[in-house]
A and B are shown apart, each in its own frame.
Chain A
Amino acid sequence: MTTTTDPAARAALGTPAIALEQVTKTYDGGVRALDNVSLTVGHGTFLAVMGPSGSGKSTLMHCAAGLDTPTTGSVRIDGREIAGLNETRRTELRRERVGFVFQAYNLIPSLSVEDNITLPLRLAGRRPDRDWLRILVERVGLADRLGHRPAELSGGQQQRAAVVRALAARPAVVFADEPTGALDLRSAHQVLDLLRDLVDELGQTVVMVTHDPAAAARAHRALVMADGSVVDSLDAPTAPELADRLVTLGER
């Protein structure tokens, strides 16, 4: 545990943070949300997944994060295969290796910000690393808000608290599902800056699902999805480039 909690050490080991091999996900009624997708996300990278609604990007994220199991294919999180794990085992794996940031924040309203942040650790029965948490909280500017309830914070503050929660357990990878979708421009910028800094400064791995080209442009690499498949992969994308790519998707 001591060696793998440090993202830099993980990167050195050579196992990718996320590895999907020929993943297919079919829902009841025959809808094929993911069609034979293979994908590797290395440690310390910031990946954006783009695509129109129904392109399969959310399903890709749910499978990659272990929230859902693929119909066929293999998903490895930090080297651990999730196919064949039951709900409890997957939950435990997620708790340890995966952090989540949702569009709707999903903070627990009954808990204070501090309790929300430490919740995954408590659930795992682990003691929080106080120094690490202090660094994170100060970095996101919530040091004076720890005692508040989520309802007493602005949307941007809630999302930053959610980011801290996602990072509290030093996960191998953080998944962000439309993290700026509910935020105003300024708050959205702050959250995106925060995510990028986490990757650049702390070597964190982030996978972000979005359909905002400006948001995706902050990533190292952007995947474009359509009809359950990855149709394009752009390194160091720019917003106009991505917007153009999305538009041409529709014309195909």
Chain B
Amino acid sequence: MLHLAVRMAAHRIAALLAVACAVLGGGALVTATGVLAETGLRSHLSPGRLAGADLVVGADQEFHPPGDLPVALPERARIPAELVDRLAGLPGVTKAVGDVGFPVSLVDAHGRVVPAADPGPAGHGWSSTRLLAHARVEGRAPTGSAEAAVSAELAAAAGVGVGDRVRILAGDRLATAYRVSAVVTAPGAGVYVADATATALSGRTGSVDLVGLTTEPDARDRVADAVREQVADSGLKVRTGADVGVAVSPGADASRSLLILLAGSLSGIVLLVTGFVTAGALGVCIAGQRRDLALMRAVGATPKQIRRLAGAQSTVVAAAALVPGVGLGHLLAGQFRQLLADRGVLSPDLPLSVSPLPALAAVLLMLAVVQLSARTAAWRTSRMAATEAVAESRSEPRRPSRARTRAGLLLIAAACVLSVGPLLSRTVLGATTTSLAGIISAIGLALAGPALVARAGSAAVRRLRPDTAAPTWLALANIRAYALRIAGVVSPLAMAVVFVLTYTLTQTTVLAATDADTRAGTLGQYRLSVPGQGTVADGTLDAVRGLPGVRAAAPLGTTTVVWQYEEFGEPAAEAASALVLAPDAAGVLDLDVTEGDLSALTGRTVAVSSDAARFRGVARGDRVRLVLGDGTPVDARVAAVYERGLGFGSVVLSRDLAAGHTTTGPQQSILVRTDGSAAADRTLAAFTASRPGLVLGGSGSADGGDDAPPEVWINLATIVVLLGYLLLSIANKLVAATAQRRTEIAALRLVGTTPRQIRSMMRREAAVIAAAALASGVLLSALPLALLGQGFLGRPWPAGPLWLLPAAAITVVVTAFATVELPTRRTLRHAPAETLRAA
């Protein structure tokens, strides 16, 4: 059977190339998604500055929602300092170090912050140097509060050596001069001060970030068991080996969570598009072989054998295409990781996790899709009586089935209903229904397409005047008679149009709405921050408030919070970025508060957006259950409800609530509103210049980012990749479909159609295909996008680049014409009588 399959396949190169491309692209996309997911689940940062520790005890740094994947928590959770002594006493332990960290930046002689790789260096107590691997120390341990040891890289960048003085921004202190007591050379090394000074700078006594242990040789596992016993009830994690990397920086590690989310949201669209494209390519391929298959039936092949033949042949091609596909998938995942790292979403140190699992999943999935599609495509031919099959193989196989048409129309109707999402919920989640509605209606079109095309073709043919040019008349007759074939190329093109329009415009519309929200809600014109430090020095706020011309200034922070609520009676949890505001925030931010007041944001309180309040059934005065960024569960009272949830997130924490539960402190930046005078600007600029490390910027978006959020870039990258895949497969499919019309074209030529008339006919068909694809694509996108615009911008059209539609139109037209014209020309090069004899 396989031998036959391969023989038959060899004659259908164009069609099989389409299948191969579809499978290759699909395999690559699925593999890439899988690799990202696996990286999110299993990849670890390198142990870095903890590489010398045999085991590390730290907080879990993960929230485990019931029945769902864990959410990584980015804020460092502290553990009791008394644990250090307790663990030091265990047999086999040679050294126990209570590690305490705080953000640091070095200031060079010119008052500029020494540039450092992301994440920036951290300060620790001197005893933490014991946890470094193969550290080379030049100099001596720092003592007192005015000495520090710095890593070799930092020392070189700042141009200092042992014995020199250097100014250091540590924690939330102003730049202070330290004497360099030592230079430390080791991977991951930062800045080290005396242990007592470290504790003071971290702002916490009685707690440490983690405990690092070194053990006697070969005692590691024994000690690990003993430590686990010691901390059994505390929820702490004991990590050894490669696991240690997780403990280095919870913030960097938490970006893994994003990968899982990303892979989850990608997998849906990737599977959908891949299945659609692969099934389409196989449909064209098998349709081209209907005559062969029918003839095989005639010489005694059973229906099952026919389906097996179709399946086997496609599987051979798919298997061959999957090998480069899987390889490409790994490259693609690497590119994606790089993109995320460049956008600062992912720690650049997080390696891709490479295992055979994603490749295996992609292979199995694609082979299943291929087998299923091939067998379905061959189903009808295989089931018919042999003679009937041969007779039918000469023309279009069937009238489009009624059930298929009805299912398609139902899907389109369902998509229309779905597209009211943005009217109900002005959130990113509400906006995703728009693109989903677009894709669903495109699938509906693929199902209902043949019937619609046939009907439109018939109507057009009836309306033709008798003196219409022959090529036009022929083209329309073909469209009516080959509705399945035409619909088979119109629907993926329309899907590409829908996909591009809805996905891109959803992004830009939400972005525009968010931007408008943020801009309207941000009263302050300036933001003061210390990049790399993550916190503004204590006292800066009061100093700014005292400046002439400054009307208001308020601290601002962001953290991650998990909101636990009930949805349809089931416990649900949503992790999201949340603002941390002080009660005086109303002077610089206007969240459009409808209930309560931001000044009530004291103690254990939060403010929530009206959308979140509505969907989660809470009102002012109610209590919400939250898990803070370091894993602490809290019950907080809703002090205010605000409208601008799109720009400022669904929940805002009071500064009191977040205090002590963030790595860097809740005062990450200061938003400043001046009287708008040039004098005030100058005063503010002079003040900024006087404080090394402090940077004055535009107020920008409230959560600290200064351009489009990372999701936009991720989504745009996804659109580009998927669109390329879609277009390639469409082009392949069109070429294959045209190449399979050799016999038809030869017969037309024998009865007297000139090559020119053939080309003219084919061009008209291409024009109809392009026009139909564009029209249906735009029509299907119109309603979801109008409702999106209404919901988010209050006008029935979306926001976005004007060139998008013309660009999509040009792409569709060029694709349709090029892929029809080229194979037609090739076909015309052969004498028609020869073609017919060969067929």
Contacts and interface: CB of A to CB of B under 8 A. Distances in A.
Contacts of B755: 87-88, 91
A106 B831 contact: no
Contacts of B395: 109-110, 149-151
A68 B747 CA distance: 15
B752 A91 contact: yes
Contacts, number: 78
B752 A120 contact: yes
Interface in B204-236: none
Interface residues on A, range: 20 to 34
A68 B833 contact: yes
Nearest to B473: A122
Given A109-B394, A151-B394, A62 B477 contact: no
Interface string A50-62: 0000000000001
Contact of B470 (A67, A122, A151): A122
Contacts of B782: none
A106 B753 contact: no
B750 A106 contact: yes
A108 B473 CA distance: 13
Contacts of B750: 67, 100, 102, 106
A124 interface: yes
A125 B392 CA distance: 31
B748 interface: yes
Contacts of B469: 125
Nearest to B832: A67
A111 B747 CA distance: 12
Contacts of A100: 750-751
B752 A95 contact: yes
Contacts of A149: 395, 481
A108 B477 CA distance: 10
B836 interface: yes
Interface string B715-757: 0000000000000000000000000000010011111111111
Most buried by A among B478, B744, B750: B750
Interface in A139-198: 149-151, 165
Interface string B812-839: 0000000000000000000111001000
B754 A91 contact: yes
Contacts of A94: 752
A73 B273 CA distance: 59
Interface string B753-774: 1111100000000000000000
Most buried by A among B392, B470, B748: B470
B396 A110 contact: yes
Contacts of B480: 110
Contacts of A115: 477
Contacts of B679: none
A243 interface: no
A125 B480 CA distance: 22
A88 B833 contact: no
A246 interface: no
Interface in B429-483: 469-470, 473-474, 477-478, 480-482
A110 B752 contact: no
A214 interface: no
A247 interface: no
Interface string A75-112: 00000000000011001101100001010101111110
B547 interface: no
A93 B814 CA distance: 35
Nearest to A89: B754
Contacts of A87: 754-755
B836 A124 contact: no
B391 A151 contact: yes
B831 A111 contact: no
Contacts of B470: 119, 122-123, 125
B751 A120 contact: yes
B754 A108 contact: no
B744 A108 contact: yes
Contacts of A108: 744, 747-748, 751
Contact of B836 (A106, A107, A122): A106
Contacts of A123: 470, 751-754, 757
A120 B752 CA distance: 6
A123 B755 CA distance: 11
B385 to A, nearest CB: 15
Nearest to B749: A91
A119 B474 CA distance: 9
Contacts of B833: 62, 67-68
Interface string B388-406: 0001101110000000000
B787 to A, nearest CB: 40
Nearest to B469: A125
B839 to A, nearest CB: 9
Contacts of A125: 469-470
A68 B394 contact: no
A150 B751 CA distance: 15
Contacts of B749: 91
A37 B444 CA distance: 62
Contacts of B747: 106-108
A119 B751 contact: yes
B481 A111 contact: yes
B392 A92 contact: no
A120 B750 CA distance: 10
Interface string B263-283: 000000000000000000000
Contacts of B481: 109-111, 149
A138 B596 CA distance: 91
A125 B752 CA distance: 11
A149 B481 CA distance: 10
Nearest to B479: A110
Given A68-B833, A88-B756, A110 B751 contact: no
B394 to A, nearest CB: 6
Nearest to A92: B754
A95 B755 CA distance: 13
Contact of B751 (A88, A92, A109, A165): A165
A104 B836 contact: yes
Given A67-B832, A104-B836, A110 B477 contact: yes
A119 B753 CA distance: 9
A88 B477 contact: no
B258 to A, nearest CB: 53
Contacts of B744: 108-110
Contacts of B478: 110
Nearest to A116: B751
Most buried by B among A88, A95, A102, A123: A123
A91 B746 CA distance: 12
A122 B469 CA distance: 8
Contacts of B473: 122
Contacts of B482: 110
Report, nearest first, the 6 A-B pairs whose CB atoms are least far apart: A110-B481, A95-B752, A109-B395, A106-B747, A122-B470, A120-B752
6 contacts: A102-B836, A109-B394, A110-B482, A119-B470, A123-B752, A123-B753
Given A110-B744, A111-B481, 8 more contacts: A67-B833, A88-B755, A91-B754, A108-B747, A109-B396, A110-B478, A122-B470, A124-B752
Interface of B: 391-392, 394-396, 469-470, 473-474, 477-478, 480-482, 744, 747-757, 831-833, 836
Interface of A: 62, 67-68, 87-88, 91-92, 94-95, 100, 102, 104, 106-111, 115, 119-120, 122-125, 149-151, 165
